Amino acid sequence: MGKVSLGEQSISGLARQYEVSFAAIQKHVSVLEKASLVTKRVDGRQKLVQNNPETLRRATELLAEYERIWTHRINAIGRILETESQADDRKRAEERTPE
């Protein structure tokens, strides 16, 4: 995705940049295309790939929403644990105090 985000790339050009086969890059691009993250077109004998910024934008927004949800939940758990820890500390202090 990084290389394709810089502009349209040929599959063969991408394969030359990595230590993987043309078939492996083609398979990877196919998966990205099924996910609508890239679009592929044929120009003569070349297969060209380009990113789909709208799908990436929507994915980024969705991930940001989940980050907000989980951050809120994790912070709530932290507050609960802190409250319980303080209660435990008070209980231990009371147990140590002679009557």
91 pLDDT band, cuts 50/70/90, is confident
Q: Residue 94's pLDDT is what?
A: 84
Over residues 25-52, mean pLDDT? 92
Between CA 45 and CA 12 the distance in angstroms is 10
List, in sequence order, every beta strand (DSSP E) within 27-74.
38-43, 46-51
- The closest alpha carbon to 15, from 7, 6, 5, 27, belongs to 27
The separation between CA 50 and the C-alpha centre of its own chain, rounded to angstroms, equals 20
Higher pLDDT residue, 22 or 1? Answer: 22
